[in-house]
Amino acid sequence: MKINKNVEEILNKQITAELWSAYLYLSMSAWCETKGLKGFANWMRIQFQEETTHALKIYDYVLSRSGEIKLAPITEVENSWNNLLHVFEETYKHECLVTDMIAKCYEVAVSEKDHATASMLQWFINEQTEEESNVLEIIDQLKLVGEKGEGIYLLDKELATRVFVDATQNGAN
């Protein structure tokens, strides 16, 4: 069955939002890299990869439902932050915004009685809960260790161990 036009429209907006998120995290990665924080840069670069796969998951879903993809321009993202805590506080705010956007997609799918899309979006709802939790954990750690010294060094080393795993390919649609 072809995807409902209202659902298609909001999912296209979400694809753009996910790509914008990827762009934002790549910018944050570059900022961290220039500060000599390769572990933090790695964490943000993996966020970039995750957001890209999220966009593609929705993209592929729309196409699988005989929908049309309408890519919109990606607006400019921030390139500078005051400090690491600021980076992660902005990340958290952004993840909360994405959570709200996913909820809106879900609400449109439910209102249009598009149960298949609502089911697909459940994966994103669960993912956003995890994303917010992960960022809050890092914020708490940054508040504990401060901005300089041994604590930042150790946290940077820990974040350097993060590897990309494409969670969209775990069999869940």
| CA-angle at 11, arms to 6 and 12, nearest 5° | 100
In whole angstroms, give the CA distance from residue 113 to residue 6: 11
Confidence check: pLDDT of 1 > 70: yes
Predicted TM-score (pTM) of the model is 0.93
Domain segments of the chain as ranges = 5-72+80-166
As a whole-number percent, the residues of the chain with pLDDT over 70 amount to 98
pLDDT at 171 (0 to 100): 53
Mean of the per-residue pLDDT values for the chain? Answer: 95
pLDDT at 173 (0 to 100): 45
Q: Which fold has domain 5-72+80-166?
A: Ferritin (1.20.1260)
Read off the pLDDT of each residue in 96-103 and give the average, rounded to a whole number: 98
